[in-house]
């Protein structure tokens, strides 16, 4: 059982709850998720099984698309609807134009302070556990990237916002920071992840359906192959001799070295160009990494 389930996570479950549910039925297989969703959030949660767990890092680095429901005029200590109200203020002076201008300031590379109630770890402990224990924690600001942010609907005091962003972006922090910028406070009431890379909510499957498929043995109808996470990279088909070499950890050198014809794609966050390697039979063998000085490709991950 190797691949990726595109789960439509329901509200109220943690990402680890979903992992545990799949692990219980996918007996003997490694199971993990690619990108945490808060319990209050719904939508695309990628659950990787077997060799699928080896591509989690590439799924984590993919862009995410969210639909966020932000309530202006109220701030909470967790930046969402589950927290304690710490401030209220009127929103009568906030027009759609002012709201759109404020949102535009979050587009691009921005510095963001994660919520104190988050899964980020400090000395091995999640910040939310330390905060709930009464400890004063100060999360460090970090740089994240917001590719697109758009106001979809404004029905005071609720703004519906679409956000496309990179890894590590906290939508709760955007909601809180927006409220601070407008001077009225704000919190995140609802959040749906509409897409994670090439996986979309339209193609996602409800958790009970996946549990049923696992229990009755037709899970292969719902699971995506491992290389679905790698399709943004170029691909090469290796002959038997090259396949054996790569499987044993040796580098592969194409007969002709014309990198301009490879149309190499360098994924943001990686340290070099990557390429999928397949056997003649179409089996994913490995993910290769470009070693340009030596004019060769060396195995980065071997799937066998």
| Per-residue confidence band for 270, with pLDDT thresholds at 50, 70 and 90 | very low
CATH of domain 67-189: 3.30.2350.10
Active site residues: 38
Cα 84 to Cα 38, 80, 94, 109, 121: the distances in Å are 17, 9, 24, 30, 22
pTM for this prediction: 0.86
What's the rounded mean pLDDT across residues 117-136? Answer: 59
CATH number of 233-302: 2.30.130.10
On the question of pLDDT at 74 being above 70, the answer is: yes
What are the domain boundaries of the chain? 3-62+198-226, 67-189, 233-302
Q: Which residues lie below 8 Å from residue 293, measured CB to CB, with a gap of 6+?
A: none
pLDDT reported for residue 271: 45
User: What pLDDT was estimated at residue 123?
Assistant: 58
Domains 3-62+198-226 and 67-189 in one fold:
yes
pLDDT of residue 264: 46
- Per cent of the chain over pLDDT 70 is 87
Asked if residue 269 has pLDDT above 50, the reply is: no
User: How many of the other CB atoms lie within 10 Å of CB of 27?
Assistant: 8
CA distances from 157 to 2, 74, 148, 188 (A): 46, 9, 22, 12
Measured distance CA(280)–CA(299) in Å, rounded? 18
Q: 3-62+198-226, which class in CATH?
A: alpha beta
Residue 226 has pLDDT above 50, yes or no: yes
- On average, the pLDDT of the chain sits at 88
Between residues 31 and 258, the one the model is more confident about: 31
Radius of gyration over alpha carbons of the chain, in Å? 22
Q: Which residues pair with 70 in a beta bridge?
A: 159, 188
CA distance 18 to 46: 10
Beta carbons of 91 and 181 less than 8 angstroms apart: no
User: Mean pLDDT, to the nearest integer, of 179-199?
Assistant: 96
Instruction: Indicate if the pLDDT at residue 267 is higher than 90.
Output: no
- Residue 41, pLDDT above cutoff 90: yes
- Residue 304 clears pLDDT 80, i.e. is over it: no
pLDDT (mean) for 68-79: 95
In DSSP notation, 189-203 reads EEEEEEEETTEEGGG
- Residue range 213-240: mean pLDDT, rounded: 92
């Amino acid at each position: 059982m190797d691949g990726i389930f595109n789960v439509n996570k329901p509200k109220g479950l943690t990402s680890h709850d979903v992992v545990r549910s799949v692990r219980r039925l996918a007996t003997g297989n490694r199971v993990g998720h690619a990108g945490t969703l808060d319990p209050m959030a719904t939508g695309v949660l990628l659950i990787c099984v077997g060799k699928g767990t080896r591509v989690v890092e590439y799924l984590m680095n993919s862009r995410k698309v969210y639909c966020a429901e932000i309530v202006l005029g109220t701030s909470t200590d967790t930046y969402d609807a589950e927290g304690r109200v710490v401030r209220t203020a009127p929103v009568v002076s906030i027009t759609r134009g002012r709201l759109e201008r404020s949102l535009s300031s979050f587009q691009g590379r921005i510095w963001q302070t994660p919520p104190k109630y988050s899964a980020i770890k400090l000395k091995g402990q999640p910040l939310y556990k330390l905060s709930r224990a009464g400890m004063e924690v100060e999360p460090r600001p970090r740089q994240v990237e917001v590719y697109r942010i758009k106001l979809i609907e404004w029905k005071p005091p609720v703004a519906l916002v679409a956000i496309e962003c990179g890894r590590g972006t906290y939508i709760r922090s955007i909601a809180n920071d927006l409220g601070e910028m407008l001077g009225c406070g704000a919190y995140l009431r609802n959040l749906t992840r509409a897409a994670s890379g090439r996986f979309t909510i339209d193609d996602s499957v409800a958790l009970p359906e996946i549990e049923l498929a696992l229990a009755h043995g037709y899970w292969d109808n719902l699971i995506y192959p491992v290389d679905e996470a790698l399709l943004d990279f170029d691909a090469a088909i290796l002959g038997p001799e090259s396949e054996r070499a790569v499987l044993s950890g040796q580098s592969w050198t194409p007969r002709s070295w014309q990198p301009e014809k490879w149309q190499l794609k360098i994924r943001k966050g990686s340290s070099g160009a990557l390429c999928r390697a397949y056997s003649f039979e179409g089996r994913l063998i490995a993910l290769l990494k470009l070693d340009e000085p030596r004019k060769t490709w060396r195995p980065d991950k071997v799937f066998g």
